[in-house]
Each structure stands twice: as C-alpha cells, then as structure tokens.
Amino acid sequence: MDIHSFRCLFCVLSLAALEGFSCSLTVHDNFLKPLDSLIISREAGEAHSKFSLRKPTLPDDDICYIVTGKPETLHYCNFNSTAKTFLVIHGWTVSGLFESWVAKLVAALYDREKDANVVVVDWLDKAHDHYGVAAHNTQEVGQEVGLFIDWIEEATNIPLEKIHLIGYSLGAHVAGIAGSHASNKVGRITGLDPAGPDFEGVHAHRRLSPDDAHFVDVLHTFSGGTLGLSIGIEQPLGHVDIYPNGGSFQPGCNLRGALENMAYYGLLAMSDAIKCEHERSIHLFIDSLLNGAEASKAYSCGSSTMFERGVCLRCPKNHCNNVGYDAKRVRKARSVKMFTKTRASMPFKVHHYQLKIHFTSQMNQPEANPIITTSLYGSNGDAKDLYLNVNRKISTNTTHSFLLVTEVNIGELLLLKLKLERSSSLLDMTWPWWKSDTPELQVQKISIWIGETQKRMVFCSKDLHKTNLHHEVIFVKCKNTGRRSFKRQKYRGQ
C-alpha cells in the first residue's frame, strides 16, 4: 500500500472514530475498491431526503415535514414565504442519528433571525453507510435538495436570495450539488469544514464550488495540512475561504495529546480530538450567530506562514471579512483565502496585533531563537506574559515582525513591556553569550498595527538607558510617531 492509500485509509478510519464507530478494517481490506461495487441496495427513483421545519421552541424535534410536491404541508408547517429560509444539512453518520450540534445550530439561527424558516435536511438513510458510499450518495441527495429548492420557489414565490444552505462535512458538498442543480441560484451557501476524502482535487461539479450560489463562504478547521490527513478539505472552495488557526490544530482540541495516546489506546483515542477539530467549524458559526456584535475578523493572506508573522492585518478593499454568519459578500474570479486566530472556547474572538521590533546590539551576535514575552496594558484591562511566536532566527540590526493575539479587549493600548524569558538551560544552548555582563540584545522602539481597529501606534523605551532585554523593558507611546525609522531599516517581516 502506497503512502497515499495509507493516508486515505487513516482518514476514513479516523472519520469512523469520530462517529464513535469501531472499525474492523485492516490494511488488507480493499476499502478503496470502486464505489460502484460497494453500492448494493440502491433503489432507483426512491426519495431519501426529508425536510423538517424545526420550531424555535423545539429546535431538537422533528414535528413537521415539508414534502416536495405537496403544498398543503407548507401551510400545515407555517412556512413563512417572506422570511429567510435556512437549510441545515448534516454530514456522514455511523450511528444513524442526528448529532447534538444540529439542535444548537437551529436554536442559534432562530436567535438571530426570529421569523426565519429553519429546515433540517434529513438524509440519514443515505449518510448511514460506509464513508465511501455516503460520499457517493451526496450526488443523489444534492439533486433531491435542488428539486426541493425549485419546488419551494415555484410554490411560494420566495426570492432565492433569501435561501441560505448551511452544510457540514459531506453536507457541504450536498449543499453545493443542490445549488448547482437548482434552476436558479440561491443566495448563499456556507460550507462548514467540507469533507476531504473523495473530494480533494475533484471537478467542481462533484463538490462545493463558487458557482453554486451567489455567495459561497467556507470555514476550514481540520484541513489536509494536518499531519497529511484530509478529514476536511484543504483546497479553497468558495468566494471566501477562512482558515481559523491555519485550518488545523484548533485550540483546546489537543490533537497532539491524542496522537501520543494512540500507541496505547489505538485509533479511538483520537475520536474526541478529531471530532473537536472537525466540528469547530460549526461552533465558530454558532458563535457568530450568538455574538454578532463581537464578530471575529479574518484577514486575507497568501499563506498561514505569512499570517503567523503578522504581516497580513491590514484591511484594504476585500482584504478583511467577518467570520461566520456576518461574512460580507464577495464576488471574485478566484477564492480569497483568509486567516484568523481564535480562543479555545466560545466566544472565540481574539484581538490581533502586529509587532515590528528592531533588535540592536553593541557587539556582533549570532542568530538565535530567543523566548520573548510581552505584556500589554490598556484602558480596559491587561494581557500579561504573552509569548511572541519566534518561528525563525533573530538577527540583530534587523526589524522582525510578529503576530500577537489577546483573548481580552484591553481597549486603547497605553503601555507595553518586553523581556526575555529566563529559561537558562535553553538560553545557554542557543545564546552562549547570555551570561555576559556586556549589554547585548536591545530594543528602543516598537511599531504596532492593531487588526481590529486598523490603527498604527509607535512605542518607545521609557528609559533610553534601559533597553537591554536581559531586564524587562517598558515602552510608552512615542512623542513623535513618524514612520521614518522603520522605513529606513532592514526588515525581515516578509
């Protein structure tokens, strides 16, 4: 078995673990054989999708079904043809049951849009199968949902601009196929970590794509960049594709810890971590519905590596967007890739800062990977002992760029402290001159760009005689905040 096949096997087994399903497959099982040979019990012409109009007071109960071709069901279920209509589409399931997130998303949608119609698309019969079969079934289910949209439009004259499909995992591709098969384009499709296996790199007609709605936005939380796996798809699929935390390793999910436990507990040790990573897309969207006044912001950037250096926090036209429900509509020929950082739990919003720091020294110093911490003091609060992400060598007489995030809104930044973390064992290895009495690494000025407010500030050392990072250095707003000093210096931010 080659490495590609092994990764596919690992992905499918991981998805099974995510669903709490114990797999008995071994590497000798040919689960990658053609899908047609796995599809045994299909009955042509039989509808498998049901459309449950949930109620705000009972978001977890299916008490009223709208049936395609039966307009009386619209009246019986109190369908509001003048309101927004959401179609919530689940993904693959081994249990054959709805997961708890469905009711949470329904309740959050009604919390934001009181008069809306929230319809849960139930395709459990076709999703409750081997993953490969369920992935194949997205084509048939998507076409059924497309027919439902056509019928709703004809029966109620609802403007399709008011129809918003929200699909998770395989459900995201169902939504895309539905949009492509509807006679007219719906207003919006949101893909929540669309599934990767069997969809990465395939033709746009077989998956979610920008052509499927007037606006397609996608959240990637467990993409193929994670350990070579592809539980969620890595490639951009929409007009706006947002990769929270780079699209992998979501805070609080502890995937690394799960990997360490695999040796002892097997693949099922990863189930909670995988579920946490994959479903984070749903909870980010729910958060955007419940905390719309404090929407998380995403920033256009060429890569996650560039974003981690803080060089992408500026917001000219279409370079920034809101995460989740309040994402702004963008129509571009190519997808806009965006990045953001989040907290480990709701509310997920953090505040992004770019720190441009010019390091100097009175003597020649070797390049090093220091441990640097900073503390921010603002008008509304403080954020102390935050680590700068030093992911490359630091050289003196050069300006470096760093991304810093705070979980609290500190308000207007008033004061900043910077210091080297005194971890002697590490510093002795990386900085052999650490113990010298001669001043070495110094910082006199820091330029700060604040992503959420789009403001630039420049801070200078409070005491120009105390700029050596051997000791904590205090910075206050410079009296003259001109740009000339940073423009003229060599810059390694990009």
DSSP-assigned states of every residue in 192-252: ES-B-TTTTT--GGGS--GGGEEEEEEE-SS-TTSTT--SB--S--SSEEEEEGGGSS-TT
Residue 182, Ramachandran bin (φ over 0: left; ψ between -120 and 50: alpha; else beta): beta
Q: Is 118 helix (H, G, I), strand (E, B) or coil?
A: strand
Q: Order of strands across the sheet with 117-122?
A: 65-66, 50-54, 117-122, 85-89, 163-168, 186-192, 213-219, 240-244, 336-340, 297-300, 320-322
In this structure, the dihedral spanned by the alpha carbons of residues 209, 211, 213 and 215, taken in order and rounded to 10 degrees, is 80
Cα gap 85→81, rounded to integer Å:
8
Share of the chain above pLDDT 90, in %: 62
In this structure, the dihedral spanned by the alpha carbons of residues 338, 339, 344 and 348, taken in order and rounded to 10 degrees, is -50
The Cα-based distances of 187 to 65, 167, 214, 319, 329 in angstroms read 23, 14, 5, 22, 10
How sure is the predictor about 469, in pLDDT bands with cuts at 50, 70 and 90? confident
Encode burial over 16-49: b for 16+ CB neighbours within 10 A, e otherwise: bbbbeeebeeeeeeebeeeeeeeeeeeeeeeebb
329 is in an annotated binding site: no
Q: Order of strands across the sheet with 398-406?
A: 382-387, 372-378, 413-420, 473-477, 455-461, 442-450, 351-360, 398-406
The Cα-based distances of 234 to 126, 220, 262 in angstroms read 25, 7, 24
> Is 378 within 8 Å of 384 (Cβ atoms)?
no
The Cα-based distances of 189 to 238, 280, 325, 421, 464 in angstroms read 9, 18, 11, 47, 55
Across the chain, mean pLDDT equals 83
pLDDT in tens, 248-297: 889 999 766 666 666 665 656 567 778 899 999 999 999 999 998 888 99
What φ, ψ does residue 284 adopt, rounded to 5°?
Answer: -65, -40
Q: In which element (H, E) is residue 297 found?
A: strand 297-300
Residues belonging to the active site: 169, 193, 278
pLDDT in tens, 84-129: 999 999 999 878 889 999 999 999 999 999 999 999 999 999 999 9
pLDDT at 225: 56
> Is 308 within 8 Å of 401 (Cβ atoms)?
no
The encoded tokens of residue 255 equal 């995937």
CB atoms within 10 A of CB 464: 8
> Is 178 within 8 Å of 164 (Cβ atoms)?
no
The encoded tokens of residue 16 equal 């099974």
The encoded tokens of residue 356 equal 């441009």
pLDDT at 35: 39
Cα gap 77→267, rounded to integer Å:
44
The reply to whether omega before 347 is within 30° of 0 (cis) is: yes
The Cα-based distances of 51 to 64, 226, 395 in angstroms read 9, 35, 61
> Is 184 within 8 Å of 153 (Cβ atoms)?
yes
314 is in an annotated binding site: no
Cα gap 139→174, rounded to integer Å:
7
Which residue type sits at 414?
Answer: L
pLDDT in tens, 142-181: 999 999 999 999 999 999 999 999 999 999 999 999 999 9
The encoded tokens of residue 311 equal 């060089």
The Cα-based distances of 203 to 195, 206, 461, 471 in angstroms read 15, 6, 56, 58
The Cα-based distances of 37 to 12, 32, 40, 41, 484 in angstroms read 18, 10, 7, 11, 68
Strand runs labelled E in 15-140? 50-54, 65-66, 85-89, 117-122
Higher pLDDT, 178 or 12: 178
Q: Is 484 helix (H, G, I), strand (E, B) or coil?
A: helix
pLDDT at 436: 45
Cα gap 448→379, rounded to integer Å:
16
Cα gap 420→22, rounded to integer Å:
48
Share of the chain above pLDDT 70, in %: 77
Q: What is the pTM of this model?
A: 0.85
pLDDT at 42 over 50: no
Q: Residue range 305-317: average pLDDT?
A: 92
pLDDT at 335: 85
Instruction: Give CA 158 to chain center in angstroms.
Output: 31
